[in-house]
Amino acid sequence: MGTLSVDVVIVGAGPTGLFAAYYAGFRGLSTAVVDSLPEAGGQVTAMYPEKMIYDVGGFPAVRGRDLIKGLVEQAAPWNPTYLLGRKAEALAQAESGLEVTLDGGDVVRTGAVLITAGIGEFTPRPLPAGDGWLGRGMVHFVPSLAAHADQDVIVVGGGDSAFDWVLALHPIAASVTLVHRRAKFRAADSIVREVRDLGVRMITDAEVTELRGNGELESVLIEAKDSAPVELPAQTVVAALGFTADLGPIENWGLEIDHRAINVDSRMATARERVYAAGDVAAYPGKVKLIATGFGEAATAINNIAVALDPDAHLFPGHSSNVE
């Protein structure tokens, strides 16, 4: 990568980080946007790209992936440097400014850091029988529904996201079967009813105990409590068993961290000079974790960073509508 030097390093390419990249560009600041995931979009891209979102200002309804596409387009004129598939590991004071070290050892020099790390790195809970099948038929998230057209799909899990994937895949897949190891579901009653009304096959008190196939997935073995094992054809298993989230290395960056969130003041400044936080990861009394909140916090953080980097700069950015 060589040495990269920018005005602001944004840690996390979720909706908050992407909007911050736009805003920094608008304020004339160069950015590097780091994310350990291979694609931008944070929780939206990873967990619900196909769902409609109804509470983002200006969009009566917007599909997750379309919101992220719009955010990336909005930031594009300012050429943020995306460092995707890279984890921000360490933060150090440098002679002038700060240095962020990425996994692999590359260092980005910067005047300020904006942490938009959301809930941190999220790791899907594994399906024991799926060991070795990730990318060969087993997935944890469904980035593209179209890839599963006409397939036999097994969704494993009993929470909202398992039911969401069933609903999204049902119109397009050849068959969808839900397998859950208990009789009762964690998902909301309304979504369970919706799936039941569609006539989707649900196998409860049962576990997927084996994925079978020669190279690619061909079938799964399902063992239920009170009946003989069944083998069902399957080209995809969606293991929707929830995930664990962890702030990981950011916990060692000398910030005030409480319940996996970073305390900030009304400028979105953390306890460490020139380090700011916004979005789900930022905490203050009365905080509401929503995309809309993250957008406002990103604007506040970047405008305050602009002043921290140049004391002659105005806090108020002017109106974007006045800029050609």
Ligand X SMILES: Cc1cc2nc3c(=O)[nH]c(=O)nc-3n(C[C@H](O)[C@H](O)[C@H](O)COP(=O)(O)OP(=O)(O)OC[C@H]3O[C@@H](n4cnc5c(N)ncnc54)[C@H](O)[C@@H]3O)c2cc1C
Q: Which residues bind ligand X (CB under 6 A)?
A: 11-17, 34-37, 42-44, 47-48, 53, 55, 87-88, 116-121, 161, 248-250, 279-280, 289-292, 294
The residue with tokens 């936080």 is 277
In the complex, the smallest distance separating the C-beta of residue 235 from ligand X, rounded to whole angstroms, is 25
227-262 per-residue burial string, b: 16 or more CB within 10 A, e: under 16: eeeeebebbbbbbbbbbeeebebbeebebebeebbb
Q: What is the dihedral of CA 73, 79, 80, 82, to 10 degrees?
A: 80
16/163 Cα distance (integer angstroms): 27
In the complex, the smallest distance separating the C-beta of residue 294 from ligand X, rounded to whole angstroms, is 4
> With respect to ligand X, which residue has the nearer C-beta, 118 or 137?
118
> With respect to ligand X, which residue has the nearer C-beta, 121 or 152?
121
CB 85 within 8 A of CB 106: no
DSSP code of residue 118: T
In the complex, the smallest distance separating the C-beta of residue 82 from ligand X, rounded to whole angstroms, is 11
Within 13 A of 200's CA, how many CA atoms are on the CB side? 30
Q: Determine whether the annotation assigns residue 88 to a binding site.
A: yes
Question: Measured in Å, how far apart are the chain's first and last C-alpha atoms?
Answer: 33
> With respect to ligand X, which residue has the nearer C-beta, 14 or 137?
14
Q: Determine whether the annotation assigns residue 23 to a binding site.
A: no
In the complex, the smallest distance separating the C-beta of residue 146 from ligand X, rounded to whole angstroms, is 20
> With respect to ligand X, which residue has the nearer C-beta, 13 or 173?
13
The alpha carbons of the chain give a radius of gyration, in whole angstroms, of 22
In the complex, the smallest distance separating the C-beta of residue 164 from ligand X, rounded to whole angstroms, is 7
Q: Determine whether the annotation assigns residue 16 to a binding site.
A: yes
> With respect to ligand X, which residue has the nearer C-beta, 139 or 211?
139
Within 13 A of 211's CA, how many CA atoms are on the CB side? 27
- Quick one: which of 198, 211, 218, 202 has its CA closest to 157? 202
In the complex, the smallest distance separating the C-beta of residue 281 from ligand X, rounded to whole angstroms, is 6
Q: Determine whether the annotation assigns residue 280 to a binding site.
A: yes
Position with the least CB separation from ligand X:
118
Q: Determine whether the annotation assigns residue 122 to a binding site.
A: yes
Q: Determine whether the annotation assigns residue 244 to a binding site.
A: no
> With respect to ligand X, which residue has the nearer C-beta, 227 or 244?
244
| Residue list for the binding site for FAD | 16, 35, 43, 48, 88, 122, 280, 321
| Residue list for the binding site | 16, 35, 43, 48, 88, 122, 280, 321
